[in-house]
Homo-oligomer: A and B are copies of this chain.
């Protein structure tokens, strides 16, 4: 399984996520970001996504968007309807990107559906009430 990763968000968030990801796991191939500025129309964003997919030239593309219902997510959905190998995960955070990169390297035989599910599980698990985790050790509240 060969996977390319595209991060798409409102504003500069996508690029920051990519840079922070690289600062932790090292620079990786086939990870790109599209930061949607206010000048972007839905149509322009779709074109940009298609171009990045073409450049990646991989078997599967996983698009990470900031939130469901936003323009980055809607544009991705339009493209994914046209292209069978494009998958979308909303609610991107740093940890799920780390998981996506690591799983891609370590489990090359994984099915794409399983890969998507694992990333989502890892992303959700990474959202924690830290005080609660340490309640018995540190906190009296």
Chain A residues within CB distance 8 Å of chain B: 9-13, 15-17, 19-20, 23-24, 38, 65-68, 73, 76-77, 80-81, 84, 87-96, 98, 116-117, 120, 123-124, 126-131, 133-134, 138-141
Contacts and interface: CB of A to CB of B under 8 A. Distances in A.
Contacts of A91: 93-95, 123, 126-128
Nearest to A125: B91
A87 B16 CA distance: 25
Given A13-B17, A77-B130, 15 more contacts: A11-B20, A12-B16, A13-B20, A13-B94, A67-B95, A67-B98, A67-B126, A80-B139, A87-B131, A88-B129, A88-B131, A91-B126, A92-B94, A93-B127, A120-B129
Point out which of A67, A92, A117 has the most chain B C-beta atoms below 10 A from its C-beta.
A67
A65 to B, nearest CB: 7
Given A16-B12, A66-B94, A94-B67, A128 B138 contact: no
Contacts of A124: 124, 127
A117 B128 CA distance: 9
30 contacts: A9-B94, A10-B20, A10-B24, A11-B16, A11-B20, A12-B16, A12-B19, A12-B20, A13-B16, A13-B94, A15-B16, A66-B93, A66-B94, A66-B95, A67-B94, A67-B98, A67-B126, A68-B133, A80-B130, A80-B131, A81-B139, A88-B129, A90-B130, A91-B94, A91-B128, A92-B93, A93-B127, A120-B127, A120-B129, A124-B124
